[in-house]
Chains A and B, each alone.
Chain A
Amino acid sequence: VSTSSKGRQQQRWLWVALGVVVLFAAPLWLPAAVAFSGGTAWGVALAAVMAVLWLGTSGWRAWPLEDRRGAAVSVAVGLGFAIPLAILAVGLAVALVLAVVAPGSGLVPFAWRVFAVDPGVWFLVVVATVPLTYALRTVTPRAADLWLERRGLPSGLPPAATREVRRLRVWRTVPAVLGACIALATGSAYNLALDLLGSADPASRALLDVATSASPGVFVLAGYLLGVVLAEVTRRRPAGTDGARVAGFVARRPAGYLTPVARAVPLAVAALLLLATATVVAVGGGLDTLDVAPTTVVLTVLVLAAGIPALQWLVVRRPHHGQDPAALALDVTLRSSAAHAMVGAGAATGLFLAAGVLGSLWNASLERGGGAVMWLLALVGIGLSVAAVTVWLGYGSAHRGARPTVDVP
């Protein structure tokens, strides 16, 4: 492929990326009366931002052309499946909600409401289908080789690398998508039930209030983190041969698998979250100012300061045996990748929550008439959200720049 041809391909893909952004951001400018405007549009815009950031962090432009085409086709196929599935899922959701919340009221008169009241339901299946289709696509030997090459691993491991790359994709996608589905389904059911019940039955709404109290992003990130841990716990380790037991003679510590920055990030985010909370409480005049439950902040800080390091320790210290140097090197790299992915998920959760905490002050500022402080808070909140997505995708896609220092023969 000549240089000019490469340049044209890159230009083409840039235009495609720009088109996707415009397509997804279009609902933002629709009139408020149109169902697609409103909060859902912001969700879609966030998804578009994530897609653009993913394009930047995944090194997508360096992929072989056939892999890029395969990825684009898989997303297109996923979208094609998503729309009919969305119609089916919405029908089922409406039937279930009406059967529980308003039995005997009849399905047909209310069926349209879920589309009009909460178009977010449409995105339930779209959000679920596209990443799943993308994660489950075939890993070609060429893609596996590229994956190995990027991590400085020797080639010659296609079957093992193909299996592990596929496991990595599936385990980091399926639980996160399930988290998104749970978040969106509870939110949609809440909106529908609220529309049907109004304020007549606060007891019935209490359960839904609890279910929807956490941010959707927290559901997604919790699912992602769970998937990373489960993938490591269930991964088959390289085995020795001829009955002998073989192992590397080296002390394995998280410092050998993580960059210094990656080790510092969770603690820094925990400190930032505490600082943001203390600032809001001090400026707002008490805990009542917080829209985020103080318990959630404390739990997140604990997870960042103690939970993530403990999980990394667990991953690093799991048995590491075998005598095939290439298989051992792959095992080390996968551990390092998991440890970094935990940093990404944990830090993203903390940053999203910090944005939510500052949002409390933004709301209070809005009630007082806004002003420059409100705009500053809005900018900081957006910055924190973008940072959260960046750190999640950046650390989750692979371990970046970190060569494990563990002794691999």
Chain B
Amino acid sequence: MLRRRFESLYGAGPAHLAVLLLSLALAGYASSIVAGDPLWPWMAVWFVAAVVGHDGLLSPLAAGIDAVLRRLPRARPTTVNYVRVPALGAALTFLMFLPGIIRQGEPVVRGQSGLDQGPFLGRWLLLVALMVAVSAIVYGVRRFARR
């Protein structure tokens, strides 16, 4: 009876509430570790920016580009995958290895490793060219084989 009343008010069982409150309490307690760090607001900003950057920027951008790709004139609906695969490979490697590609933080890299970031942009472009070429060759071979 009490349980049903709780569920109608809260929207789920008491275990649901307990689990979530525990996880939020842990987050609060963990955050207290850096409460004395004058830069903690920047940590929070980066935390929120990571979500906004993904959900509000990168995801809609990727979805938008994909929608445009799907509207391109094409022989078969799956042709779009020959663009998608190298494009996603290029985007993934660009985002994951961004500092080297755009030469960000080079003085620190030089101090830590004795090396510059010179080669990375060229290597990344080569990798993208390779992915595009492989995709184009596979497309060509499959089209030819279908005839």
- A joins B in a complex: no
